[in-house]
Amino acid sequence: MRNAFIRAITEIGKDENVVLLINDTGQFILKDFDTNYPGRLINIGIAEQNMVGLAAGLASSGKTVFVYSIASFLARAYEQIKVDVCYPALNVKIIGVGAGLAYGAMGITHHATEDIAIFRALPNMTIISPCDPIEAEQATIAAYNHPGPAYLRLGLTGEPNLHSPNYKFELGNFDVLRKGHDIALISTGRMVGIALSAAQILEEKHVSAMVVNVHTIKPLHPNIVMSIVYPMGFDFRRTVEAILTVAEHNIIGGLGSAIAEQIAHYFKCAVLFKRIGIYDKFCTEHGSWSYLQKELGLSAQHIADEALALWIYCRYDSSIERDSFA
């Protein structure tokens, strides 16, 4: 995803009002931007608060500012993002690279597993979490065209493309990557690919899993749950039996919380629901992303096992009269 962002920002840089700020991260990989647009790549050093403050000043003078950082380091500048960027709704785009557990071997200082919760609480902030390089490139352009603050949550490298080349990104929407009628796996970021693998495992067990990619976490599409569960309205039978959210993030405040809030809002939408994520703890393990996935219960097999258990529960527990809620 990082390379996809670089391609997009190099194209966006043709706009002379675009400025790119970095915090001693990405100087080499962003060399094309620096070469093509001299003086518009500014290395602030390891001083994230200063970087965001400068971004706010530039944006208030009419610039469109991209702030590029390892995702976990952005928490250092939370006050500046809140007061200097979000409060006046300035045109600052915050790029968090290596989100989730991408920098797994470097420990919790480099893990960004609370960032969605932090930024969801900020008024005027838009949160975009693409699932593959194709989507990341288009999401960068969408953030550029969107007036006001935005947080683009990116992986690092090596993510497979899940979309076709003719895919069209639409800010504020979601897309169904796999149809199903038993359970819906709702995911975001590079965990969408893992959810697709889990759906394949479930298919072998004769469970049909829908896979939904939520690329815009805020504003969350207002009818995402209704569209999945009751696509034809309350008067018709529900499409899926249960919803399982999957995110590389603390279960508190992340995608699962956002979906749960929407389920609670639609009181008639009685559907079994469970979150998979990091269960409110720090990851004290060090290792590759795939290793940490398994350790934290984020592997495709674990997701499939949890989904199967949830589906069996709602299918065979006689105490649940699901359709009586509708």
240 vs 237: CA distance, rounded Å: 9
Match domain 175-325 to its CATH number in 3.40.190.10, 3.40.50.920, 1.10.150.530, 3.40.50.620. Answer: 3.40.50.920
- 192 has a pLDDT exceeding 90: yes
- Looking at residue 170, its pLDDT comes to 97
Least confident segment among 127-131, 170-174, 242-246, 289-293: 289-293
From the CB of residue 299, how many other CB atoms can be counted at a distance below 10 Å?
Answer: 18
187 vs 190: CA distance, rounded Å: 9
Q: Mean pLDDT across the chain, nearest whole number?
A: 91
69 vs 292: CA distance, rounded Å: 22
Find the mean pLDDT for residues 155-171.
Answer: 92
- 235 has a pLDDT exceeding 70: no
Confidence of residue 89 (pLDDT cuts 50, 70, 90): very high
- Looking at residue 242, its pLDDT comes to 93
Sketch the domain layout of the chain as residue ranges: 2-153, 175-325
- 237 has a pLDDT exceeding 90: no
Least confident segment among 64-73, 211-220, 226-235, 290-299: 226-235
CATH number for region 2-153: 3.40.50.970
b (16+ CB within 10 A) / e for 30-49: beebbeebeebbebbeeebb
- The tokens for 105 are 């071997």
The predicted-structure confidence for 4-49, as pLDDT tens digits, reads as follows 999 999 999 999 999 999 998 888 899 999 999 999 999 999 999 9
- Looking at residue 243, its pLDDT comes to 95
Find the mean pLDDT for residues 291-313.
Answer: 93
Closest C-alpha to 283, from 130, 121, 158, 111: 111
- 75 has a pLDDT exceeding 90: yes
Find the mean pLDDT for residues 184-206.
Answer: 97
Fold match flag (2-153 vs 175-325): yes
